[in-house]
Structure 1
Amino acid sequence: MSQNDNVAHALSGAGGGALAMVVTYPLITLSTRAQTESRKEKTGKKVSAVDAAKAIVQREGISGLYAGLDSALFGITITNFIYYYFYEGTKNLYEAPAGQLTTLQSMSAGAIAGAATCIFTNPIWVVNTRMTVRDGSAQPSTLATVKDIYERDGLKAFFSGLGPALVLVINPVLQYTIFEQLRNAVEKNRKMTSIDAFFIGALGKIIATSVTYPYITLKARLQLRRKDNTASSSLIQGIKDIVARDGLAGLYGGLTTKVLQSALTSAFLFFFKEQLYAIAIAILAILRRTK
């Protein structure tokens, strides 16, 4: 695979991720709020995703379901570009002549790409989390949120939640390992289609999200935490704090919504990426000829 192929995968992944984000963002808002709100601060009644959506719309309007969308689009575009660039580049080191990765090779490529992506993009998702769970009806701009975080909590705050994020590298490792192995199985008989990618991508993400959800919750809460909050940032202690405060169910707040959102986002990502890859290859070919 050439350098241009790596860039094409990165561009198509970035574009596919942005389109998938737009389609599923209201579910992202609902799951993020479910993860960051303490059960003890509520009435104790279980609120459905539909009721939560109605409450947000009544309080903040339709735009409330899209709070932080601008930073999320920027974040997912950069995240997916970096991830796919490193993922495809690492695959080049392992790829067999037949073009199929073993399970261990898929896991290794996913781990390297995931770690690089976490380090580069964590500040973006800290900003997005703060914007998504803001209080009140006023919608701060991305730049205003960045300034507020820096002034109130310092530069270190942009890397809050990085520990759980690095642990959560196992999420894309599981997702892409499942995807690669199922794609290998499909392509033994025929060429994989965009529809195949849609359903395989969804299945991989459902399994990965279900396994890693407690750390997803912890990451979201640490990103929301302010400097004057005395809660421990230790991964294990953070899990214990959530259980002590909200019970075991606190680790799985919004799980159904998150799994649905993650599955749909992943499915649309792979679907759009398959469509955009050919376009990216054509654009890069044109750019090469114009040089």
Structure 2
Amino acid sequence: MANAVVNGLAGAGGGIIAQIITYPLQTVNTRQQTERIAKKADASSAAPPPPRSTLLQLIQVIRSEGVGGLYSGLKPSLFGVAASLGIYYYFYQVFKNKAEAIAATNRIRGRGDGTVGMFSWLLVAASAGSLNVLLTNPIWVLVTRMQTHTQAETKMLEAKKEALRNEASQSGIIGASLQEKFAELDSIKPQPYGTRHAASEVYNEAGIAGFWKGIVPTLIMVCNPSIQFMIYETSLKRLRAKRAANKQGSKDVSALEVFLLGAVAKLGATLATYPLLVVKSRLQAKQDIGGNISLRYSGTLDAIIKMIRYEGFSSFYKGMSTKIVQSVFAASVLFMIKEELVKAISVLVNKRPKYLLNVVK
């Protein structure tokens, strides 16, 4: 079986398991990223409430929406992870094989030592990542919508209540009709929100182009896995080289070592690219969540400008601690399981009779 296919299948399997384990943290993190609280214009105005800890937010979601609230959008997310990582690892291995073949050819010609350089690793990861983004972005738009649906609906209700309060304040009287409207708004609860509903909403808002919202920062964020895999592959190569230099030791890398290398690689990539992730999430989330124009974004540049103007630079790092925990743990699990699956699949294939191996190849 071609190693690109093996890596694609193993990557998809590892990604699904990592996604299931860390999904509640991902849901809370997406809500943290898309929480939009504009700074008050004057000092006398009440300051926005301090951000709640991740644990408190997890508890709040469970209390208000049940455990299922933490898994909003899980089904399309699992499909997205399988498709995304399958595509990514397949093309990553294809481009990696090509880069290694070029390096070997250059060595024969007297150029280089036959190893793939750091820039080549970046190019390999970026090429695979770009193809992945273009093909799977619609899935992640739907997942983001489903994760933030309750949050957006609550914001819209709060905006309507605030409008009623202003109306009552101007008139000085809360009449029966206003009381009825308040009671009606209090009785409204966010409705169940499935994949089909999310897709319909996205299409009604912006047509087919709506499914590629956030594509610009997402494409730029291709450098995240590029940095991640550059760190991972470089560290793995050095570790194996050290093992090979030790004649008494084995150059095989353990699952725990792969876990730790994956954690270090993902941490470095996340720290470098987190602001882009926040912008992407905000563009993909529902825009019509109140009358305040500072909460709506028409595009990437508009989002960046409004976030700086109305919320300050700190808004680009909302939920970063949660993301570091979630993404580093997920990446570590992914790398560990993926490497073990590659080994398992290779063993299974090698144990097959020769006539079956020819069919597989």
TM-score (norm 2): 0.75
Q: 1:61 to 1:231 in 2, by over 3 A?
A: same
The answer as to 2:60 corresponding to 1:55 is yes
Alignment match, 1:210: 271
- Bigger Cα Rg: 2
Q: Deviations over 1:234-279 (max 9, x none)?
A: 33x4212112121111110000000111100100000110111133
1:1-291 alignment, distance < 5 Å: 4-40=2-38, 43-95=48-100, 96-97=103-104, 100-135=115-150, 137-188=190-241, 189=243, 190-226=251-287, 231-235=297-301, 237-281=302-346, 288=357
Shift in CA distance, 221/138, structure 1 to aligned 2, threshold 3 Å? same
What stretches of structure 1 move > 6 A for 4+ residues in a row? none
- Aligned CA distance change for structure 1 residues 100 and 10 (closer, same or farther; 3 Å): farther
Shift in Å, 1:227: 7.9
Inter-CA distance 177–55: structure 2 relative to 1 (3 Å threshold): same
SS at 2:2 equivalent: helix
Task: Tell me if structure 1 keeps the 8 A contact 2:122–2:230.
Answer: yes
In the TM superposition, residue 30 of structure 1 has moved relative to its aligned partner by 1.1
Pick which of 199-208 and 97-106 moved more. Answer: 97-106
Relative to the length of structure 1, the TM-score reads 0.92
Contact 2:287 2:297 in 1 (8 A): no
**CA deviations over 1:94-151 (Å, ceiling 9, x no partner):** 1145985321111010110010011001000000000001125543222232223223
| Alignment coverage as a number of residue pairs | 288
Q: Distance in 1 between matches of 2:89 and 2:76?
A: 20
1:59–1:216 Cα change, 3 Å = same
Query: Are the equivalent residues in 2 in contact too, given 1:168–1:212 (CA < 8 A)?
Result: yes
Cα distance in 2 for partners of 1:60, 1:100 equals 52
How large is the Cα RMSD of the aligned pairs?
Answer: 2.3
**Distance change in 2, residues 1:40/1:55 (3 Å):** farther
Is the contact between residue 262 and residue 332 of structure 2 (CA under 8 Å) also seen in structure 1? yes
Segment drifting more, 38-47 vs 12-21: 38-47
Note the residue ranges of structure 1 that are not aligned, 5 or more in a row: none
* Unaligned 5+ runs, structure 2: 40-46, 105-112, 151-188, 244-250
Q: 2:264 is aligned with what amino acid? A: L
Percent identical residues: 33
| In structure 2, C-alpha distance between the alignment counterparts of 1:144 and 1:289, rounded to whole Å | 46
CA-to-aligned-CA distance 1:26-65 (integer Å, 9 cap, x gap): 1101110000011339942221101111111110011111
Aligned mates of 1:39, 1:211 — CA distance in 2: 24
Q: Output the amino acid matched with 2:307.
A: I
**Cα distance between partner residues in 1 of 2:340 and 2:192:** 34
Distance 1:65 1:152 in 2: 26
Residues 20 and 269, structure 1, Cα contact 8 Å, conserved in 2:
yes
- Find the aligned partners of 2:80 and 2:280 in 1 and give their Cα distance: 16
